[in-house]
Structure 1
Amino acid sequence: MVPIGTIFYFNPFHFSLCFAHRILGTKSMNIVVLGPGAIGSLWAIHLKKAGHNVSLWGNKTQSTDSIQLEDKPPILFDNRNTQALSQADLVLVTVKVWQVEHAIKPIIQHLDSDCMLMFMHNGMGAVDRIYHLVEQHPVLLATTTHGAFRPSANRVNHTGLGQTQVGAFNDKAQQCEFIADVLNHAQPEVFWNQNIKQALWQKLVVNCAINPLTGIEQCQNGQLANQEYQTTIEKVVSECADVMNADGFKADKQTLLDTVRKVIVATGKNYSSMYQDVFYNRTTEIDFITGYLLERAKCLHIATPVNAELYQQIKAKELSEN
């Protein structure tokens, strides 16, 4: 008989999915959060509170780092611990999309081939570019609508409740559906999506409509509800829908437009990540948001002039600031 309170350490790929589900309640996973920014810090705290062994891999060089969730006591994490990497069951990658390759290269040699890699960021295309580095791992994609903000380097605020979707990028990750339950136990609601790329495309359309405009206009999301922006937003969404449909993903223009408008209202007081990057003279995610759309449009021979114009305006801002 197994003593009450025993923690099971297991490799989920050596057991059936049913067995994994059965012991999830007592299984403490080894998790490394790569890139503990706002969203990464939020997940690190909630996963640790859920009983998992969580460490960070961030830019700070010290061996420990603390994160404070709003006004609650700070929580201490190991940082940049190569032993934690070698024992990791899951690496949650939450760096900016354009930082993915730079962040993955130094750590990949330390990971077991069964270690799951979950990429949670805005934009698309980054994992495709590094797949040759990670193809031996189960690779997962995730998207979340939780809101998080870091008012300082060691503090994170949870600014909006949301939902998280996760799904498989490669065949090896198809057997990792149980990870949705792990995440849901830490920070609900989390769902497994068999067609995660459809969800990522839908989020990409929202980002194409909101992020460049707020970066160019330097405004809160809610200002895009003004009449002066409606024609541009409608054209952006229409072009995106044309590309999605041609690329084999279902896209109804009116449904997508309604979604964009709902997000604008729901996040009216928020400043988009692209607004913040432009404001602070940082590299933006435009190459993996609108840039990804333009790449697919070019391959599919679809004209996207409005998105192309917004892309050029953001790139001009990047050049003028660097």
Structure 2
Amino acid sequence: MNILVIGPGAIGSLWAVKLQQDGHRVSVIARQTKSPYQVQFGEQPCSFRNHQIEDIRNADLILITVKAWQISSALSPLIHLIHPDTMLVLMHNGMGSLTSIGTLLQTHPVILATTTHGAFKPSPSRLIHTGQGETFIGAANEKGCQCQFLTDVLHHALPEVYWHHQIEHALWRKLAVNCVINPLTALHQCANGDLATPEFQGIISALITEITAVMIAENIPVSLEELTDHIHQVITATAKNHSSMHQDVFHQRKTEIDFITGHLIRTAGRHGIPVPENEALYQQIKALEKQWES
């Protein structure tokens, strides 16, 4: 397949490398415009065509791995070049980004994806796969329902990959994890595993209680006990990792808080559910962003 990756950060680069190794023709659109885009993966240097118009026009699949708030600005200049049959896969933290792709949702097959693979770029040209995970994909519109075969394509490159007929359930489960781990590790500038210490257990419990109430109101199958166990398992399994929001705060970059905790708060508001602990974390992250802007 002709595959274009828009936003080859850590996760985008991991998929680009794995898909290229699996025999696909992979190109990218990276922040830097020089071609080729190069990244060192283990002992292997990998090179990709970058910012080539014909790669946009010829793409069978476009994997969009920019941050949620960057999607609109990343796609807007390219819309007139993307073929109507080109499949669009959105893979990022958070929820609520579909409105940002505008008419593409009506004209193209759109698939939502969530992954628990860990990836890290200690430098712009070096990539580390920090943890095995699994990926769920599912249709965001009617045309996307015809793309279930992508499960096999992606699974062959970077297993495990599953098709989820109710992808919102998987996205909410990932959102719940992110609502706990991301803002706490960002504010305290700590690794994920540090959240297992006693000092964090009170706030984590309160956050999960609020998140569970919102998920139940959204008809997402969940229980407080199961979600609590799942989030603590993720904290343990990713103990040495630094969350993406931790990295954004460390480098004083705009975070995805509006699409993570912000989405939870907006959804809670529609149901009249108070979420004061999540609201407090949201406001603290937004205050940091405002400091950097000023």
TM-score, with length taken from structure 1: 0.89
User: In structure 2, what is the Cα distance between the partners aligned to 1:46 and 1:280?
Assistant: 28
Tell me, yes or no, if structure 1 residue 266 matches structure 2 residue 232.
Answer: no
Cα deviation code 1:59-101 (max 9, x no counterpart): 21223221221222x1221101111111111000001111111
Cα deviation for residue 157 of structure 1 reads: 0.7
Alpha carbons of 1:147 and 1:227: their partners in 2 closer, same or farther (altered >3 Å)? same
SS of residue paired to 2:77 = coil
Letter in 1 for 2:5: V
2:3 matched to which residue of 1?
31
SS of residue paired to 1:243 = helix
Letter in 1 for 2:275: T
Cα deviation for residue 264 of structure 1 reads: 0.8
User: In structure 2, what is the Cα distance between the partners aligned to 1:62 and 1:230?
Assistant: 47
SS of residue paired to 2:128 = strand
Instruction: Map residues 152-191 of structure 1 onto 2, 5 A cutoff.
Output: 152-191=123-162
SS of residue paired to 1:105 = helix
2:119 matched to which residue of 1?
148
User: In structure 1, what is the Cα distance between the partners aligned to 2:41 and 2:251?
Assistant: 24
User: In structure 2, what is the Cα distance between the partners aligned to 1:302 and 1:158?
Assistant: 39
1:298 matched to which residue of 2?
269
SS of residue paired to 2:38 = strand
Letter in 2 for 1:93: I
Cα deviation code 1:165-221 (max 9, x no counterpart): 111011111010000100011111111111111001001000001111111111111
2:37 matched to which residue of 1?
65
User: In structure 1, what is the Cα distance between the partners aligned to 2:34 and 2:198?
Assistant: 50
User: In structure 2, what is the Cα distance between the partners aligned to 1:114 and 1:101?
Assistant: 20
Tell me, yes or no, if structure 1 residue 242 matches structure 2 residue 218.
Answer: no
1:111 matched to which residue of 2?
82
User: In structure 1, what is the Cα distance between the partners aligned to 2:185 and 2:124?
Assistant: 24
Letter in 1 for 2:96: G
Letter in 2 for 1:118: V
User: In structure 2, what is the Cα distance between the partners aligned to 1:223 and 1:65?
Assistant: 35
2:282 to 296, 300, 311: 311
Whether the 8 Å contact between 2:71 and 2:100 is mirrored in structure 1 is no
Whether the 8 Å contact between 1:69 and 1:156 is mirrored in structure 2 is yes
User: In structure 2, what is the Cα distance between the partners aligned to 1:256 and 1:216?
Assistant: 23
SS of residue paired to 1:123 = coil
SS of residue paired to 1:135 = helix
Cα deviation for residue 132 of structure 1 reads: 3.1
CA radius of gyration, larger in: 1
Tell me, yes or no, if structure 1 residue 54 matches structure 2 residue 12.
Answer: no
Letter in 1 for 2:39: I
User: In structure 2, what is the Cα distance between the partners aligned to 1:313 and 1:63?
Assistant: 39
Instruction: Map residues 202-213 of structure 1 onto 2, 5 A cutoff.
Output: 202-213=173-184
2:62 matched to which residue of 1?
91
Cα deviation for residue 270 of structure 1 reads: 1.1
Cα deviation code 1:213-243 (max 9, x no counterpart): 1111111111111112111111111111111
Structure 1 moving runs of 4+ over 4 Å:
none
- What is the aligned length? 293
Whether the 8 Å contact between 2:137 and 2:163 is mirrored in structure 1 is yes
User: In structure 1, what is the Cα distance between the partners aligned to 2:269 and 2:23?
Assistant: 47
Whether the 8 Å contact between 1:33 and 1:92 is mirrored in structure 2 is yes
42-51 or 124-133: which moved more? 124-133
User: In structure 2, what is the Cα distance between the partners aligned to 1:198 and 1:270?
Assistant: 25
1:17 matched to which residue of 2?
none
Give the % identical residues.
Answer: 51
1:10 matched to which residue of 2?
none
Structure 2 residue runs without a partner (length 5+): none
Structure 1 residue runs without a partner (length 5+): 1-28
Whether the 8 Å contact between 1:140 and 1:169 is mirrored in structure 2 is yes
1:16 matched to which residue of 2?
none
Cα deviation code 1:229-273 (max 9, x no counterpart): 111111111111111111121121111111111111111111111
User: In structure 2, what is the Cα distance between the partners aligned to 1:266 and 1:247?
Assistant: 28
Cα deviation for residue 302 of structure 1 reads: 0.8
Letter in 1 for 2:6: L
Whether the 8 Å contact between 1:108 and 1:134 is mirrored in structure 2 is no
1:275 to 246, 253, 259: 246
Whether the 8 Å contact between 2:29 and 2:50 is mirrored in structure 1 is yes
